[in-house]
Amino acid sequence: MQRFTSEWALAWMEALNQSDAYRKAARKWKWPVVLRIESKVDWWLDLDRGRCKDIRQATPDELLKTDIILAASEKDWGRILSGEVAPIVAIMQGVITLERGSLLKLSRHAQAATEMLQAAISLEKAEVQPQEEMKAKPSLGAVAQISDAHQAFRTTSAGGLDQDSLPMQLFQKAKKLGVWDPMDIDFQKDRADWQRLTEDEQDILVRLLAMFQAGEEAVTLDLLPLMRVIAKEGRIEEEMYLTTFLFEEAKHVELFSRIFKEVVVRTDDLSGYHSASYRALFYEALPTAMNRLDADSSPAAQLTASATYNMVVEGTLAETGYHAFYSVLESRGIMPGVTEGIRLLQRDESRHIAYGVHLITRLIRENPELSPLFHQVMGELIPVATATISEIFSQYDPVPFGLREEDFLRFAMDQFGKRMRRIESGASGAPVQSASE
């Protein structure tokens, strides 16, 4: 069926009204949406609480009335509707632009928006021959054949270590910049500043800190399976860099532990600050993706692990967290020790993310058929990351320090989009990115 025809619109409407997933996700969605195929046509979707009443070309009057306009080029809509790019990834990456409407509203109803587009995607999927679909599916179970015996050593082979490789550049940087000691930071003024904060101000900071504290512990506990796979593949440069990676995560655990002990002065159970989406990521998705590598070292499993660890946890959620600390502490000139610790930690993390971008780019370049899997993982986890951000804000009214949820969602989107573009251009053969973020 040809896209963007009346027949297509009718089929999409029927698919929406038959989709249980859409009906469930869109229970609270009561706004019409315009889908703009740039310089071609505007489609008006009359949506009301899980029902689609009509899909037709928008009239000028409807265009004026609509709350939400999602726009992309015909080529990009094609990539989304063919299932090549996950809808939520396309929105986060700015492939689909929100020409009108609130990002906050869209984020709160991300699942509804995703299911809305998923119904259109399903129309095209139904037309794909089963054989072709089989071909497009990544072979999840394909475990690389690696012998336990070493066949050769890189350092005593012709050429030796690849000093110019990105992992070695990161290793050089880590030896200079990653050796700061959390025990050296002076928290005296921080404690005095802390005591002057209001109860709500303290509470939102404890919430953030409790998320970071457990998050750093999780990434320290869960990195080893990836290191083992990289080592087994004989990638000595990558493994050399990863030795610094794990050391740095351990220091980050220590940094937050000191902040709790000496600034916040709390030793009670803080797990109540871990919201449902936070738990879905750090208690479930991250350890599952990482520990799976013990049994399955396939490129697909590695890609899933790095996408979860480096792109979602480090690249989207943690980066947005630093932004929160800076917004609160730096602008007020308070708690200089915590600010200094976060600054040093973020410099380490930028190397971790650069390694993740390198690994994902390498995996997709070597296995182009894995690109849809990467989008699938991002499509599943990015909404969990943005929901984690929303769950912080939903606890406060008014939100302390005048923080605005929309600013943080936009920040998370920018970070995510920047790295996705780097991976996409790298995977398609462009020169490898530099060792700095």
**351 contributes a contact to Fe ion by CB under 5 A:** no
Q: Is the Cα dihedral 433, 138, 107, 5 positive or negative?
A: positive
Of 238 and 249, nearer to Fe ion (C-beta) is 249
Name the β-bridge partners of 46: 54
Applying CB under 5 A, the span of 11-19, 98-106, 214-222, 224-232 interacting with Fe ion comes to 214-222
Minimum CB separation of residue 281 from Fe ion in Å reads 14
Per rule CB under 5 A, is residue 422 in the interface with Fe ion? Answer: no
Angle in degrees, 0-180, between the axes of helices 236-259 and 336-366, rounded to the nearest 10: 150
Binding span for Fe ion by CB under 5 A among 94-102, 251-259, 260-268, 423-431: 251-259
CB of 437 to Fe ion, least distance (A): 12
What's the rounded Cα separation, in Å, for the pair 39 and 123? Answer: 24
Question: Which of these, 399, 419, 422, 423, lies nearest to 104 by C-alpha position?
Answer: 399
Q: Which is nearer to Fe ion, 216 or 237 (CB)?
A: 216
* Cβ pair 205, 197 in contact under 8 A: yes
**Both tokens of residue 57?**
């070309």
Give least dist CB 289 to Fe ion, A: 15
Q: Structure tokens of 228?
A: 């083992």
Compute the distance between CA of residue 241 and CA of residue 246 in angstroms, rounded to an integer.
9
CB of 267 to Fe ion, least distance (A): 22
Segment lying near Fe ion (by CB under 5 A), choices 244-252, 256-264, 379-387, 395-403? 244-252
CA terminus-to-terminus distance, the chain = 44
Supply the DSSP symbol for 274. -
Token pair for residue 257?
């532990």
Give the nearer residue to Fe ion in terms of CB position, either 81 or 253: 253
Of the listed pieces 150-158, 168-176, 203-211, 252-260, which binds Fe ion according to CB under 5 A? 252-260
Helix (H) or strand (E) holding 47: strand 41-48
Q: How many CB atoms lie within 10 A of CB 407?
A: 14
Question: Would you say 87 or 341 has its CB closer to Fe ion?
Answer: 341
Q: Mark 76-115 with x for binding to Fe ion (rule: CB under 5 A) and - for no binding.
A: ----------------------------------------
Between residue 280 and residue 319, which ones bind Fe ion under the rule CB under 5 A?
314
Distance of closest approach, residue 415 Cβ to Fe ion, in angstroms: 14
Stretch in the footprint of Fe ion (CB under 5 A) among 12-20, 247-255, 276-284, 287-295: 247-255
Q: Rounded to whole angstroms, how far apart are CA atoms 291 and 297?
A: 10
Cα 187 from Cα 258, distance rounded (Å): 9
Distance CA 37, CA 189 (A): 55
Minimum distance of Fe ion from residue 389's CB (angstroms): 18
227 vs 224: CA distance, rounded Å = 5
Q: How far is the CB of 221 from Fe ion (least distance, A)?
A: 12
User: Cβ closer to Fe ion: 58 or 174?
Assistant: 174
3-state secondary structure of 220: helix
* Residue listed under structure tokens 């984020």: 107
Nearer to Fe ion, 124 or 340 (CB): 340
Q: How far apart are CA 31 and CA 90, in angstroms?
A: 21
We find the least distance from the C-beta atom of residue 318 to Fe ion, in angstroms, to be 7
Residue 52 to residue 400: CA distance in whole angstroms? 39
> Cis peptide leading into 400, omega within 30 of 0?
no
Bridge partners, 44 (sequence order): 34, 56
Which of 109, 251, 351, 352 touches Fe ion by CB under 5 A? 352
Residue 26, both tokens: 């869109």
Nearest approach in angstroms of CB 310 to Fe ion is 8
Output 108 or 352, the one with its CB closest to Fe ion.
352
* Segment 142 to 181, residues that bind Fe ion, using CB under 5 A: none
CB of 315 to Fe ion, least distance (A): 10
Site size toward Fe ion (CB under 5 A) is 6
252 contributes a contact to Fe ion by CB under 5 A: yes
For strands 33-37 and 68-72, give the pairing: parallel
Alpha-carbon gap, residue 219 to 249, rounded angstroms:
7
Beta carbon of residue 391, minimum distance to Fe ion (angstroms, whole number): 21
Query: Of 34 and 338, which CB lies nearer to Fe ion in the complex structure?
Result: 338
Residues that bind Fe ion (CB under 5 A): 216, 249, 252, 314, 349, 352
